[in-house]
Structure 1
Amino acid sequence: MNPEDAAPGDPPAVAAARRLLDALVAQGLRDVVVAPGSRSAPLAYAASALADAGRLHLHVRVDERDAGFLALGLARGSALRGGVPEPVAVVTTSGTAVANLHPAVLEAHHAGVPLLLLTADRPHELRGTRANQTTDQVGIFAGATRLTVDVPAPAGLPTELRDLDHLAARAVVAACGTRSGHPGPVHLDLAYREPLVPTSPSATGASPSAGGTASSVDVASPSVVLAPDGVPAGLAAPVAETVVVAGDGAGPLARRLAEARGWPLLAEPSSGAWGGPRAVAAHRLVLGVLGPEVRRVVVLGNPTLSRPVQRLLGGGLAPTGERVEVIVVAPGSGPWPDAARAASHVLPGVPGSWLEPAREASAWADRWRAAGAAAGEAVRDALDELRSADDGALDPLVVADAVSRASAPDDVLLVGASSPVRDLDLVAAWDEPPHVVANRGLAGIDGSVSTAVGVALAARRAGLGRTRAYLGDLTFLHDVGGLHLAGDDVDLQVVVANDGGGSIFATLEPGALAATGVRERSTFERVFSTPHAVDLGLLARAYGASHVRVDARHAGVPAAVAGLEAALVGPVRGLQVVEVLVDRSRRVPASADVLARRVRDAVGAAVASLGENPGTLRSRSELPGSLQSGSRTIV
């Protein structure tokens, strides 16, 4: 049975509760303490069924305060023979029942005892309505938990059960301090909608995994994998059809890994890993051709830019049916990046043996090198055409390309969120990149000018080259006050691609809806594009910054490009704003599709000349064990 399909007749709340408890047991949970209640009924039925099957010990207490301290005692007692405390779960209904756990939670927090607080809650539509036994439970233990998650009420969506597997993994890892060395309570606030009980009396004792078996996660301490050249148990030797995804902050280790193993490097601009012979140009478009051949992905940093990459990290299916194996390298104790909840292994470091140079080049490496070269050439040809156009409109990709080419390895480039960083990701072709900085923690446009000023001050102290920011117009306007230096002496060039509004939304779902009718277009312009007519030159000069305006409507595209390139290489003293007027109509999906087709055609022809990839012909039985098992390792 597909593990993401609920058992016939199971209400979503019952199926979800069963899967969560099943996943926690797979993580090593052995004891559950239940206090009676109505909203928590799905969890009570699930715990009872697991106890009847001999998979855990069930303890029932009438008073939640007693239940909390009983769980605390069970966890402490599990370490009496010299081991480490095992996590114990306590289940409550909503309302004051949750508050009664607080004394035990505080003790567990200060004593470092792993507790899993599974508190049932009303769904979001009942919160704040004075509904019975409904209060603000999320964050009620603030300051005393290692992880708090507000889990929405299940609705029977196809991925909900798989998501619970990963929620259970994160909860146990956080409670046990596996990555942080700081065990303690974890709070999962679980919203459930009625019906809250199995649909028939015969279903009350059904297997808690009737909706499919939860994926197990082997949790080990970091010391297990940080031994020299160690590879964790359950993780097979390197797979030939592997790519390295380097997200924001990945650092040079990602490039070193790719070059040592001959694996393609899919690096975001702010990864700190871009460049070298394994970097794949326009990789998000190359994935449209070679993505189905990928069998394993090694992720470093936090990748957030590209939907094709996110689909790959979601374990996208190859033609032969096996899921892509996703290995996340996440040093430290913080959350690991896994937005698709598909990571099969989470490691605190790259196994040393993977950094040893491969003995010989592989056909896989040759295919991706050819693909990257073809993609880069196709993008360059498209840019050449855009630079020589005579339609009086400057394409945003031309601006990103000019900024990219003007940025030397010793320079510092801060790139704004939304379109600029994605344009740069598509056109960058550095042999050695500049120091690229981006606020990708939450990927907001907030404070970008001020961040750039701070980066420029630090870059000067470090003796680095020119500091430049590349922003969209709304990002610039959002933090224009950052131009007020209040006495600081800064040399900073701010390049603003001004298309008169928020054009990135034209590339997303709202843009597609806008194309369906006049009213939809009007709504799109008002609440998404937010057009403006701000004179950026006057604004810049008001803050004491110099201003250069590049406008192809009057000079023509070739002359405008020449003017932009001259501004980018000219001397900068103090603050300089280079405003480049670009054509927002180039953001429509049809325009992007033209370039995507050209790249796909070029890549397809390049790899076809090398012959078929032997890796695509392997049967599932020939795949390494770790690709067949579906096991997960979090260390």
Structure 2
Amino acid sequence: MTAPNRTALWAATTVEECVAAGIERAVIAPGSRSTPLVCALADHDGIDTVVHPDERSAAFLALGQGRATGDPTAVVTTSGTAVANCHPAVMEADEGRVPLVVLTADRPPELLDSGANQTTEQAGVFAGAPRFDRTLPEPAPESRRLRSLRVTVARAIDAARGPPAGPVHLNVPFSKPLEPTPDGSVPDNLAERAPIGAAGRDGPMVRVERGVSVPRRATVDRVASALADADRPALIVGPRGPPVPDRDPLVRLADRAGAPIFADPLSGHRFGNSEAIGAYDGLYATLDAPAPDVVVRFGLSPTSKPLRERLAAADPRQFLVDPAREYREATFHAGHVVGADPTVLVDRVADRLEPSPDGDRRPADPWVESVRRAADDYWATIGAACHDAWTKGAVVRAIAASVPDGTTLFAGNSMPVRDLDRFGAPADRTLTVHGNRGVSGIDGLTSTALGIADAEGPVVTIVGDQSALHDIGGLIAADRIDGPATIVVLNDDGGGIFEELPIADFEAFEEYFRAPHGRTFGDAAAMYDLDYRSVDDRVAVERALTDTVAVGGVSIVECDLRGADSHDWRADVTEQVARAVDWEFPDER
């Protein structure tokens, strides 16, 4: 490798090692101190780049790409507050188990605490969130330094992949010159003096060989025995973060154990798995129905609060399956953590359980059948209630049912993901669903969805108006990404989720919590030259989705829900479910 100066050499080596370790995408927020990294990225044809002027949105865009692909994207920033703006995305990547590489340029260390412009302590700025956090040494064209640099970059990217997957931070101090100006600081014979450091290896400097976490025989026996002895076993698949089992092994275990699959909308099993049960949220919110007595859980904590509360009250025996062996159960009732690959575990537990004489599926199990009957009655009631309704829940149901096959759905936080959980019926169709449920913030949702669209293809995003306002600047990336995206904004003029909370009964509610803003989004669409449609009925929503996904580009579909009483409608639907659904269940099987 040749370079005009040591700074350019250091940046080029960093980028080269990133690519060798598998980084294919980078999101760049322009700035002066990061000039060496940006020039190195611009010169490398092995990495796709998106330029974004806002660091917070840029980091969420990179997060979306990583969420879609499972591989880390790098986000590159200059020094100072630019770094801090990445923190929300780093928090989400940490808790949501999304691989992310944060490359921050820094001032040279002698400028710390000197009053120098745009200089602050950047080492450790993300606290304990990164899986790997290093401030690199200052650039030097020396053999050991270059080998150390390559090893550090390779280790960081491996750490981003986990387990557990998550963010890593490489802080890179640069002194001037920042531009690729020749200054004689790199010897002409560097390749001879530092052959490995200058050229690297064929592939990453350190190749970490990965394996599968295999459960011990005693663990498999313990889980199988618990399921076999249970009266009401269940398999609960929460949002993806910690990995979840593949579909066929999960279904085989459910059949052999006589256990329903309670599938969160973000689990990857609510849609595309005909065995999935999605009615548990509405049923447990409405009926005095029994909780499972043995639970095997995968993924993050379920979105459904009624399900979590029912499990906490019943205190069933719970197995949390996570290759990283982390305890992710905020009620502190679960008594087992299984550090194993979930697909391997369910396969081996299913092998331990006796199949029926006719194959994997056991005879009709009274517990499973009772759950299925209640779910069928529930969805029939929900379908009738949503048919002519113009409320947030009815709109979310219509979107989930009408999104074209093969499209990705991104469910925003606050009410969209909760309404998808309660009103989004399982369907045997190809629909990938994502959401940011690590820290569940309303910031960066549009940018995350645009990152997913760039990496994965057509995306339909459902966000509330507060979330859309929060990330309005993220729309600048609309003409810089490859994939089409339809952003559905459920505009009820303020924080409608607070209507579901006790504060709604207090005087401060309207001004300080609902906080109506009186804005619509047509002007924002015009500012960013986006297709825009305002709709006010279900048929128009469905038509708009079909049109915008087919046309491509980025579109905003604004659902005018001002004046729609979604809260009272939700309560009325709960009463309808209570009258229509009779969940009769066996005490034993």
Category of TM-score, reference length = shorter chain: 0.5 to 0.7
The answer on whether the counterparts of 1:225 and 1:232 sit within 8 Å (CA) in structure 2 is: no
1:265-304 CA-partner distances (Å, limit 9, x unpaired): 2211111111434322432122243642521222111124
> Which residue of 263, 267, 270 maps to 1:267?
263
Q: Distance in 2 between matches of 1:364 and 1:492?
A: 42
> Which residue of 226, 230, 243 maps to 2:220?
230
Aligned to 2:469: 477
- Structural mapping, 1:517-532, within 5 Å: 520=507, 523-532=508-517
Q: Distance in 2 between matches of 1:240 and 1:224?
A: 28
C-alpha displacement of 1:535: 2.9
Q: Distance in 2 between matches of 1:251 and 1:433?
A: 17
Aligned to 2:378: 375
| 2:227 is the counterpart of 1:248 | no
The answer on whether the counterparts of 2:231 and 2:587 sit within 8 Å (CA) in structure 1 is: no
- Structural mapping, 1:320-331, within 5 Å: 323-331=315-323
C-alpha displacement of 1:550: 0.8
- Structural mapping, 1:267-306, within 5 Å: 267-275=263-271, 276-287=273-284, 288-289=286-287, 291-306=289-304
Q: Distance in 2 between matches of 1:290 and 1:354?
A: 31
| SS of aligned partner of 1:269 | coil
Q: Distance in 1 between matches of 2:403 and 2:223?
A: 44
Aligned to 1:582: 561
> Which residue of 431, 442, 447 maps to 1:450?
447
| SS of aligned partner of 2:581 | helix
Q: Which amino acid aligns with 1:547?
A: Y
Q: Which amino acid aligns with 2:588?
A: G
The answer on whether the counterparts of 1:411 and 1:435 sit within 8 Å (CA) in structure 2 is: yes
C-alpha spacing 1:499/1:304, structure 2 compared with 1 (3 Å): same
Q: Distance in 2 between matches of 1:439 and 1:236?
A: 33
C-alpha spacing 1:229/1:402, structure 2 compared with 1 (3 Å): same
The answer on whether the counterparts of 2:391 and 2:566 sit within 8 Å (CA) in structure 1 is: no
The answer on whether the counterparts of 1:473 and 1:499 sit within 8 Å (CA) in structure 2 is: yes
1:151-194 CA-partner distances (Å, limit 9, x unpaired): xxxxxxxxxxxxxxxxxxxxxxxxxxxx99xxxxxxxxxxxxxx
- Structural mapping, 1:453-602, within 5 Å: 453-460=450-457, 466-485=458-477, 487-511=480-504, 513-514=505-506, 520=507, 523-551=508-536, 560-570=537-547, 571-583=550-562, 586-588=565-567, 590-602=568-580
Q: Which amino acid aligns with 1:436?
A: V
Percent identity for Structure 1 against Structure 2: 29
Q: Distance in 2 between matches of 1:233 and 1:540?
A: 53
| SS of aligned partner of 2:332 | coil
The answer on whether the counterparts of 2:493 and 2:516 sit within 8 Å (CA) in structure 1 is: yes
C-alpha displacement of 1:351: 4.9
The answer on whether the counterparts of 1:395 and 1:583 sit within 8 Å (CA) in structure 2 is: no
Q: Distance in 1 between matches of 2:269 and 2:324?
A: 19
TM-score (ref. length: structure 2): 0.57
Q: Superposition RMSD on alpha carbons, in Å?
A: 3.1
C-alpha displacement of 1:480: 1.0
Q: Distance in 2 between matches of 1:615 and 1:290?
A: 17
1:90-132 CA-partner distances (Å, limit 9, x unpaired): xxxxxxxxxxxxxxxxxxxxxxxxxxxxxxxxxxxxxxxxxxx
C-alpha displacement of 1:422: 1.0
C-alpha spacing 1:363/1:563, structure 2 compared with 1 (3 Å): same
Q: Distance in 1 between matches of 2:269 and 2:416?
A: 19
Aligned to 1:355: 350
C-alpha displacement of 1:260: 4.6
Larger radius of gyration: 1
Name the count of aligned residue pairs: 364
C-alpha displacement of 1:225: 3.2
TM-score (ref. length: structure 1): 0.53
The answer on whether the counterparts of 2:319 and 2:335 sit within 8 Å (CA) in structure 1 is: yes
Structure 2 unaligned blocks of 5 or more: 1-123, 132-162, 165-211, 352-359
Q: Which amino acid aligns with 2:511?
A: R
Q: Distance in 2 between matches of 1:593 and 1:537?
A: 32
| SS of aligned partner of 2:557 | strand
- Structural mapping, 1:29-40, within 5 Å: none
The answer on whether the counterparts of 2:270 and 2:277 sit within 8 Å (CA) in structure 1 is: no
1:413-432 CA-partner distances (Å, limit 9, x unpaired): 11100111111112212222
| SS of aligned partner of 2:329 | coil
1:395-426 CA-partner distances (Å, limit 9, x unpaired): 11221122111224411111100111111112
Q: Which amino acid aligns with 2:299?
A: G
Aligned to 1:384: 387
Aligned to 2:586: 613
C-alpha displacement of 1:358: 4.8
Q: Which amino acid aligns with 1:308?
A: P
The answer on whether the counterparts of 2:323 and 2:338 sit within 8 Å (CA) in structure 1 is: yes
The answer on whether the counterparts of 1:498 and 1:580 sit within 8 Å (CA) in structure 2 is: yes
Q: Which amino acid aligns with 2:520?
A: D
Aligned to 2:148: none
1:307-355 CA-partner distances (Å, limit 9, x unpaired): 11111332x13xxxxx32222111224x231110010211123354433
> Which residue of 335, 339, 362 maps to 2:330?
339
Q: Which amino acid aligns with 2:571?
A: D
| SS of aligned partner of 1:230 | helix
The answer on whether the counterparts of 1:224 and 1:232 sit within 8 Å (CA) in structure 2 is: no
C-alpha spacing 1:471/1:259, structure 2 compared with 1 (3 Å): farther
